[in-house]
Amino acid sequence: MIDPRDNRGKRHDLHFVLFGVLLAVMTGKVLIAEIHRFLVRHHHCLCSLLGLSVRYTVSDVQLRRLLALVDTVTYQHFHTRYFGWQACLLASNSWVSFDGKELRGTIDGVLGEKRGLCIVRPLLHQSSISLSGLFYHGAKESEITCVRELLQEDALASQHLTFDALHTQSQTLEMVQNAKGTYIAQVKANQPVLLEDLQDHIKLIAPIAKQETSEKGHGRIERRKASFYPTDAVCFEEKWDSSKFAVLVVVERESTQCKTGKVSRETSYYLSNASIEQITPQEFLQAIRQHWSIEADNWVRDATFREDRIRCKEPARSKTLASIISVAGNLLRQQKKGYLKAMQEELTYNLSLAVPLFKHADFL
């Protein structure tokens, strides 16, 4: 990654500082003041890990300045290449979902702002590994265009993808179809004509397959029944022709609270360009269920990494910290050693435990 600063008077190496910040975030330090204290406290350890002799620690002011100078696209791509988080390297049965997450600390409530800077990223269902993402401002830009920009990479568009109703757009689905990828897209009231067509269709035809699951957890019992319908007899609007719908999946969910016995029900509709001969009903239902793993990951970013507590008026600095949190989460998850919080605590007390996370890829 290129350092954008002029070499004259440059006192702190950008890569050395960013490595220290990444380790700080991996131990749960995300506020700039506590990151700075971490860098000061562990300066000699960081020098030892990297085999460097750095005389001065970075100041709080310089740390903030350096974080604002980082090219986040290059930063994410650098780690993606080093650690193998590339779409072209995914297993053939991998499923990927997309979602945007608002960085709450970028919203200025004094000025009455309602939206702030957001990050949108692809997430692997099975491992919860984040791929390189993009940023947009919720009040001025759209998550839809960001996802389309990400899908311009053929290696990603050709994967198995799940979309929520926001991204059930003809242009988005066409990009996946043209790249010979597979999608499952939810249909809700934001596409009223399409939803009405589907609801009318299931009244006239019998399902070609069914799949049921039941599980208990979080104080409730959830039952899901999925019915699969062919779509060749549906007369869709012309704009959907290039999406090549092949199957409609109707999922009926019933949730029973164990304590109160309260029952809630909902019905959801999904369209896919893959038939049940290409993807089994069980895999369809599992992919639909695991799509929401990205919502769980958003919660982890706020609860475990405390991303929502970062208050920052400088967008460039907020983007850098969000990108580092993504990398830190990926590195911890790759270890598969239990709860991320427990792993953070272990690293806090023994920073040398982080060495194997990097040396396996010749990072150190």
Are 148 and 166 contacting, i.e. CB atoms less than 8 angstroms apart? Answer: no
59 has pLDDT over 70:
yes
Tokens of 95: 């499923």
Tokens of 181: 């990828």
- pLDDT at site 359: 62
Phi, psi of 230 (to 5 degrees): -70, 150
34 has pLDDT over 50:
yes
d(CA 264, CA 103): 32
Helix H segments across the chain? Answer: 14-26, 32-41, 43-50, 60-69, 72-83, 143-151, 154-157, 170-178, 192-204, 281-290, 293-303, 315-333, 340-349, 355-359
- How many CB atoms neighbour CB 194 within 10 A? 21
Pick from 324, 326, 343: which is nearest to 335 by CA? 343
- pLDDT at site 364: 44
d(CA 18, CA 66): 9
Are 225 and 251 contacting, i.e. CB atoms less than 8 angstroms apart? Answer: yes
Instruction: List the chain domain ranges.
Output: 14-80+309-359, 165-290
Pick from 149, 110, 144, 117: which is nearest to 133 by CA? 149
Beta strands in 231-262 (DSSP E): 247-257
Q: Find the range with the poorest average confidence among 45-59, 173-187, 236-250.
A: 45-59
d(CA 14, CA 7): 11
pTM beyond 0.75: the answer is yes
Compute CA distances 101 → 105, 296, 349, whole Å. 12, 11, 31
362 has pLDDT over 50:
no
Place 51 in a pLDDT band, splitting at 50, 70 and 90: confident
Give pLDDT tens digits for 256-301: 888 888 989 999 999 999 999 999 999 999 999 999 889 999 999 9
- pLDDT at site 125: 94
Average pLDDT over residues 108-133: 89
* 137 DSSP β-pair partners: 117
> Counting beta carbons within 10 angstroms of the beta carbon of residue 322, is it exposed (0 to 12), middle (13 to 18) or buried (19 or more)?
buried
Give pLDDT tens digits for 339-361: 888 999 999 888 888 877 776 54
d(CA 9, CA 97): 45
d(CA 104, CA 108): 9
